[in-house]
Structure 1
């Protein structure tokens, strides 16, 4: 099942790629489930049970430009650093072996799959394509073996990072540099795990203006999705609708020689196999007149 946010309303997407149809959940359920895309995660079990046998008869085509994030207002957004060995190496670190590095992105940075993203003057704005995990039920002290039962589904994400701000303090202030408005695009929809042939092995990558810059597979994660859910939930409860950015493969701008940054007008396209793609255009911040 593909669950999406269409102009702020909760929809289920049916149909083949290129011929998708949006099914309005509130209308299809006769009001049993509301229109709020974020609110559905509070009742995820009942929703998926209903959706499995729902009759989809009122759908209509839609423009991908009208899609928002399938998780527009999570209460908690976790992100994992150095979770691919080659990315750790390009960043100049040893790969973690016992505990994943964890930081947070502020929920206000979340945006949609086609959103235009403002890049600040004088910044070094980098890209990091990631598999995003969305939590489907309250999870506290969950074992890795039970982790998939707590997951609503997967989506595509970009952990966009402003490296000047990130490195401005000692130690680096990861959350600040990674939480500017729009620096967390997620989408194009959430895909439930039963739709994926192997949820542990998905290709992911991104391109700038059509030029590939990252390509990897989630099977190369140092800490798998179940391990991440277990580790995070051991310390803090994971709440329905929470988001986990699981880490990025190699190929980011800061690891290149010469280094490369996103520029005004660049189109950043990001994909995860079996889920879909983001297409975000960068635009320069308006110069200050003061």
Structure 2
């Protein structure tokens, strides 16, 4: 009887050992090939900022969103070309910025012709979101002299900061679903230059900040003025962070193609009528000052985005008897020089 018990113990122990060894082997095999949050192996090469490019996002038929590169020949479908050429390249703008694998991205662009993958006609593309999961969305308020004047506010001594969340991100040509009027009805546009961070920056002097910028976009800090200014204690974050309250696009343009960000025309059209017409030269705090100031308090990481404030001409700045708030069916077009026209319709 005792020998039988001993035999069972031996078999049980050896079986457990086999299972443990087998499990350990699987774990070691899995850990040898860790995958990134975007799928595929984690990129461990040098972090580089992308240069000389104009990028959009394609909403694919399967519901995924991936990068396209705008060229004179048409739009390069990065996902399809990378797969055809067997290049482990970033396929979204978030991934490109956050991983910094510009080398693989450049190989895809350079190999587009030989890949045999057709260039896409941009007019037939359904646009996706340029950004889906940036680490931070930082916003600067009250940053144009004439805008501060029109609403009767003093020019702030330092950049006033607030934030949006990822739920607010949406695309060019979207239908922006406005809240029911009992939630908010004082809807306003705010066309803005968007700064896209390309390298980690912390405590960076003003003179060096542009070395950390990957590029720029046209954006709109869409706002509910009643929620922002008329709720108890004043709720800027609520008034600016409802779903889809951050349209961005249609393009990300690399910084080298833009040049001086403090000399760009900024315009808004509502149903074809011009409402805002200014220039970033009217910034109270220019691009360098904003980035340096923010980096004093926390690090800005690759892929973080910064809204830079809006010029005069917002509905809030009109006399109260002339404030006609945006409504369902209105078409808003935001324009920033060199960065393209961002269009969305209220629905």
Q: Normalising by structure 1, report the TM-score.
A: 0.90
- The structure having more radius of gyration, on CA atoms, is 2
- Given candidates 67, 71, 91, the residue that maps to 1:10 is 67
Distance 1:197 1:74, change over 3 A: closer
- Contact residue 10 and residue 26 of structure 1 kept, 8 A: no
Residue 226 of structure 1 corresponds to which residue in structure 2?
Answer: 288
Alignment of 1:173-192 (within 5 A): 173-192=235-254
The number of residues matched between the two structures is 278
- Contact residue 175 and residue 346 of structure 2 kept, 8 A: yes
Distance, in Å, in 2 between the alignment partners of 1:55 and 1:190 is 21
Residue 89 of structure 1 corresponds to which residue in structure 2?
Answer: 149
Q: Which ranges of structure 2 fall in alignment gaps of 5 or more residues?
A: 1-52, 60-64
Residue 250 of structure 1 corresponds to which residue in structure 2?
Answer: 312
Query: What secondary structure, in the 3-state scheme, does the structure 2 residue paired with 1:60 have?
Result: coil
Going by fraction, where is helix more abundant, 1 or 2? Answer: 2
Cα offset, 1:25, TM superposition: 5.2
- Contact residue 271 and residue 332 of structure 2 kept, 8 A: yes
- Contact residue 80 and residue 246 of structure 1 kept, 8 A: yes
Cα offset, 1:14, TM superposition: 1.0
Query: What secondary structure, in the 3-state scheme, does the structure 2 residue paired with 1:108 have?
Result: helix
Residue 79 of structure 1 corresponds to which residue in structure 2?
Answer: 139
- Given candidates 77, 101, 106, the residue that maps to 1:51 is 106
Distance, in Å, in 2 between the alignment partners of 1:127 and 1:176 is 15
Residue 149 of structure 1 corresponds to which residue in structure 2?
Answer: 211
Query: What secondary structure, in the 3-state scheme, does the structure 1 residue paired with 2:112 have?
Result: coil
Distance, in Å, in 2 between the alignment partners of 1:255 and 1:221 is 17
Residue 336 of structure 2 corresponds to which residue in structure 1?
Answer: 272
Distance 1:223 1:26, change over 3 A: farther
Question: Cα RMSD (Å) of the superposition?
Answer: 1.9
Cα offset, 1:262, TM superposition: 0.7
Distance 1:182 1:55, change over 3 A: same
Going by fraction, where is strand more abundant, 1 or 2? Answer: 1
Cα offset, 1:175, TM superposition: 1.0
Residue 113 of structure 1 corresponds to which residue in structure 2?
Answer: 172
Runs of 4 or more, structure 1, over 6 Å off, are none
Cα deviation per residue 1:183-228 (whole Å; 9 max; x = unaligned)? 1000111001211253321111110000000011111111111111
> Relative contact order (alpha carbons < 8 A, sep ≥ 6): 1 or 2 greater?
1
Distance, in Å, in 2 between the alignment partners of 1:242 and 1:267 is 28
Cα offset, 1:54, TM superposition: 2.4
